[in-house]
Amino acid sequence: MEKLISTLDKTNAIIFKIQKIVFIIVVAFVVVIDTAQVFGRYVFKFSIPWSDQVSLLIFCIIIMLGGNIAIKDNAEVKVTLIRFKDEKKQLIFDLVGDIVSIFTISFFVVSTWLLILQASTFKKVISSIQLDYKYVYVIVLAGFVIMLFEKVIQLLKRISRLKAGGAFEGEEGGVKA
């Protein structure tokens, strides 16, 4: 299992590097578009007709990339009601949480896939940039798939640690990123 986790970690590292590059590009792009929009609106009394919809699309990309980054850093929104002092019990509890997350993200993957199929049947475009909505949904699907991949890696690491007998030293929750 250690070899599988190592291979998945290497693949995940490559995906994460690509994500960071895309993240920097889209954030820079949205800053340029929104700056041009504000400047044009207040200086020239002219607004760029497609800027709002492109900004919305870029924010969608940012949210999907940010979701995976939050999962990778173990910083997703969660409420901790129970914290065990015994590392093994905490690891099992965290494992159950990972399984619930995997099922939830899998539900979103399937739902988004069905949405893409429906959008392919009934074509609808973003009016100002003539972009088919199914491509927007593909971005969302890609984000959920990347999140699912990250969660599966975390689950496998927890299982490996559980087999080895406990959490990593100094780690709360037992997963070392």
Helices marked H in 73-132 — which ranges? 87-121
To which residue do tokens 């893409």 refer?
Answer: 116
Q: Report the distance separating Cα 142 and Cα 113, nearest Å.
A: 10
Q: What is the DSSP letter of 132?
A: E
* Amino acid (1-letter code) at residue 153: I
| pLDDT at 145 (0 to 100) | 93
Burial class (CB in 10 A: 0-12, 13-18, 19+), 98: buried
pLDDT higher at 28 or 168: 28
Burial class of residue 5 in the structure, from the number of CB atoms within 10 Å of its CB (0-12 exposed, 13-18 middle, 19+ buried): middle
Taking CA atoms, 83 is separated from 23, 74, 171, 173, in Å, by 34, 16, 13, 9
Tens digit of each residue's pLDDT (9 = 90 or more) over 48-96: 888 888 888 888 888 888 888 888 877 777 777 778 888 888 888 888 8
- What ranges do the domains of the chain cover? 2-164
Q: Looking up tokens 């909505």, which residue turns up?
A: 133
pLDDT at 176 over 80: no
For 7-45, write each residue's pLDDT tens digit.
988 998 898 888 889 889 999 999 999 999 898 888 888
Q: Could you tell me if 31 and 107 are in contact, meaning their C-beta atoms sit under 8 angstroms apart? A: no
Q: How far is CA 175 from CA 15, 72, 88, in A?
A: 19, 10, 12
Residue 110 pLDDT exceeds 90: yes
Mean pLDDT over each residue of the chain, to the nearest integer = 84
Closest C-alpha among 114, 98, 109, 113 to residue 152: 98
Residue 111's pLDDT is: 95
What confidence tier does 99 reach under pLDDT thresholds 50, 70, 90? very high
Beta bridge partners of 132: 125
Q: At 166, is the pLDDT very low, low, confident or very high (cuts 50, 70, 90)? A: low
